[in-house]
Amino acid sequence: MRRLVRLASALAFLVAATPVPAADIVLLVHGGAGALRSESTPERDAAAKAEIERALRAGWTVLKDGGSALDAVTVPVRILEDSPLFNAGKGAVLNNAGQAELDASIMEGHTRRAGAVAGLHTVKNPILLARAVMEQSPHVMMIGDGAEQFARQQGLELVEPSYFIVPERQRQLERAKAREKAKAGAIDPKATKGTVGAVALDRQGRLAAATSTGGMTNKRYGRVGDVPIIGAGTYADAQCAVSSTGWGEFFIRVGVARDICARVAYRGTPIDRAADEVLAEVKALGGDGGVIVLGADGRFALPYNSEGMYRGSIDADGKVTIAIFND
C-alpha cells in the first residue's frame, strides 16, 4: 500500500511538473458583412484591407508577447472604431435623427465575464467602455446616459457627437429617407450590415470575443441590435468564441453567438458546421450576415451568407489572410 501511495505521489509530481504546451495563437477580425460589389472599388477595398491588416497585426503583437486574448480583441476593435471606413465608432451609420448611436460588447471565455454598452453618443471607443463595465462594475450591460456617466467616472475619452459623422454616412441616411418617403420601406436590407469584431486565442489557451457597431442606417426609437446582447452578437466560453455581424433583429431571435458555441459544446459539432447551421436559421427567417468563430483547438471559420464580408485572420507565424468577397 505504501508503495502504491509513493508511486501515486511520484506520478502526481511528474504531471504537475510537466509543462503544458503553449497554444498556437490565432486572431480573427471582421469589418462587417455589409460589403456590396456594386459599391466596391479598388481604392476602397485596398483601404479597408489595409485597416484590417493593421488591426490584425496589432492584436497579434499582443498575443505574440504573451498577452491575453482579452487584450488581443480589445486592441483591433479599438483600431477599427477609429477608422472612418467601418460601421463602428468614427464612421458609424446614422439614425433617423442624424446621430451616431453606438453599441459594443466584450466577453472573456474561461471566466465568462462580459460587458456591454448601448445607445452611446459621446464615448470615443465604445469597446473600452464595454470592457470597463465588465471589469469595474457589478453589471453586464449599461445603456444611454447612465453608460456615458460611467464612462466619465472611468476617465474614458469623450468626444462631441459630430466626431463620429462622415459624409458617406450622411449620404446613406439621405438615401434611406428617400426610400422611406417613396414607401419602399424604412429599412433597406442592403444597408443593415456593418459592425467590427474580433476573436482571439492566446498562448494559455484562453479565448475572448469583442464586437462594436453603429447599428443600422435610419434606425429610431432607441433601437438596439444584437451586438451588445451577450449570446446574440458576442459570446465566448472555454471552447468557443464568436463575433457576429448582420441584420441584428434576426441574430437576436436566433441567439446566434451562443447557439454556435452550444452546438460545439453539447453536440461536438465542428466549428464550421455549427456556424453554417446557425446562419442557415437566420437566412430561413429572412435575415443574413456572418460570423467569425474560433475554437480552443485553434480551428476557426469565417462564414457569411450575405454578398460579402470584410474579414481576416493571422496565425501563430504572423501569416495574414484577408478577403471581402468569396473570390
Active site residues: 195
Give residue 190's pLDDT.
59
86-124 confidence digits (pLDDT tens): 999 999 999 999 999 999 999 999 999 999 999 999 999
Is residue 212 within 8 A of residue 102, CB to CB? The reply is yes
Question: Angle at which helices 126-136 and 144-153 pack, to 10 degrees?
Answer: 80
Q: Give the separation between CA 31 and CA 211, rounded to whole angstroms.
A: 10
Q: What is the mean pLDDT of residues 46-59?
A: 98
**Which residues does 181 contact at the CB level (< 8 Å), separation at least 6?**
none
CATH annotation of 23-323:
3.60.20.30
Give residue 81's pLDDT.
98
Q: Name beta bridge partners: 323.
A: 311
Provide the 3-class DSSP secondary structure of residue 7.
Answer: helix
Q: What is the mean pLDDT of the chain?
A: 91
Where exactly are the structural domains of the chain? Answer: 23-323
128-164 confidence digits (pLDDT tens): 999 999 999 999 999 999 999 999 999 999 999 999 9
Q: Band of the pLDDT at 191, cuts 50, 70, 90?
A: low
Q: Give the separation between CA 105 and CA 242, rounded to whole angstroms.
A: 12
The Cα-based distances of 319 to 184, 241, 271, 297, 314 in angstroms read 45, 21, 21, 18, 5
Q: Band of the pLDDT at 303, cuts 50, 70, 90?
A: very high
Q: Band of the pLDDT at 12, cuts 50, 70, 90?
A: very low
